[in-house]
Amino acid sequence: MQRRVTGLTAAVAALSMTALLAGCSGGSGDSGDVTLELVAADYGDSSANSSKKYWDALSKKFEAEHPGIKIDVTVLPWTDVDREVKEMVEDGKAPDLAQIGAYADYAAQDKLYSADDLLSIPTQADFLAPLSKAGEVNRVQYGMPFAASTRLLFFNEKLFKSAGIEPPESWSELQAAAQKLKARGVKIPYALPLGPEEAQAETMQWLLSGGGGYTDNVGSYDIDAKTNVTTFKWLKDELVGKGLTGPTQPGKLNRAEAFAAFTRGDVGMLNGHPTLMQMAAKKGLKYGMVPMPGINGKAQSTMGVADWMMAFKQNGHRKEVGEFLNFVYSTENVLDFSREYDLLPVTTSASQAMSEDKEDSEKLGQFLEELPASQLYPVDKTSWAQVSVQVKKYIGKTVDENGNPEAILGQIEAKARAEENAR
């Protein structure tokens, strides 16, 4: 998921990591307490709303109810946390818990406890089904979803009203709306960010809307499937080729730039996640949101994104880790985190509670509706990280003036299969 970068300074993060490494053996204190080391990502955009505050409050509450277990939390920016945890594991100093972006490599190396080892049956069963399944490797769940998001098509209400157009429900309607916006001088009728920042997300949203995806029905890479080729030929010829995506080549447009342009009023429509709501509200921009259009109507599924909690076996604190995680995933605690950062709950009970709350429903209800049927990246594949790099590097070329979608998707597919077979 795209994450907001923390406002903590590098010096503070370095000091936190030094303290973590010093205590990473998970040893007992003078009182004989077990100390669990947790490394977590920061979802805040400044020190004022850093995730450190959430984890400190949660840990204090847990420790009061569970004497004998201490929680030592280090929160790091998303730019650093995955790399830092990887280095800790490679140095033989794995934390007890890590809340980061990917789990499959560690599961494949047999370094993680399974969810069965840790969670009560009610807690594990409470995870939303698509998220729980995405956390499995060889049908065993190792990745426990911690935060989730989906995508909707955002549109500028003022621009749509002045052009006399309704939100699109199909590709042809999206194209027609973009043409009317262009005729009225809108700089970027549809923003298509296929630049290196998050091209894999925009790509997947379009693949799904075209009836395809990164993998086939049995989970094998199928990036150059006919449906996917058709999707990118349409984007190349019917959107980019007709000048409906603005002056910047999609392969050079990043998501952050597209979001900023939308909040300035320069974009008619684009795919977005809940963070864009906050950004638009701060600028006073009125917007609407609808499900992503498909070829002939609403897309059958949308893209879901999840970040993961995992527990390392190295320090042997299975019982204590299990107690803490069952506490973390209580309905109350899941709701507190989701509300703080405008993210979607990963459990059925919290999702239901949010749907029934008027304020929550008004803010995130549409995203919640999309989550149960959403499809996630193939995060269960240890090759996905490298495949994602290839998508970011090459997918923008498919819609260039001289781009060849079939050839480029075939190139990415070949590299994906090679990477998968090498694992």
- Tens-digit pLDDT profile for residues 210-240: 999 999 999 999 999 999 999 999 999 999 9
pLDDT single digits (tens) 237-283? 999 999 999 999 999 999 999 999 999 999 999 999 988 998 999 89
- At residue 1 the predicted structure's pLDDT band, cuts being 50, 70 and 90, is low
pLDDT average, residue stretch 308-319 = 97
Flag whether pLDDT at 12 surpasses 90. no
Rounded-to-integer distance, Cα 173 and Cα 165, Å: 9
The contacts of residue 374 (CB under 8 Å, 6+ apart) are: 130, 150, 301, 302, 303, 304
Rounded-to-integer distance, Cα 174 and Cα 180, Å: 10
Q: Going by DSSP bridges, is the β-strand pair 34-41/69-76 parallel, antiparallel, or unpaired?
A: parallel
pLDDT single digits (tens) 24-63? 444 433 445 899 999 999 988 778 889 999 999 999 999 9
pLDDT average, residue stretch 134-163 = 96
Domains of the chain: 10-149+305-376 (3.40.190.10), 152-301+383-421 (3.40.190.10)
Q: Going by DSSP bridges, is the β-strand pair 267-272/188-190 parallel, antiparallel, or unpaired?
A: parallel
By three-state DSSP, how is residue 310 classified?
strand
The pLDDT score that the predictor gives to residue 275 is: 86
- Using only C-alpha atoms, the chain has a radius of gyration, in whole angstroms, of 22
* pTM for the whole structure: 0.81
DSSP code string of 128-180: -HHHHHHTEETTEE-PEEEEEEE-EEEEEHHHHHHHT-PPPSBHHHHHHHHHH
The pLDDT score that the predictor gives to residue 300 is: 80
Q: Give the angle subtended at the CA of 12 by the CAs of 8 and 16, to the nearest 5°.
A: 120
Amino acid at 348: T
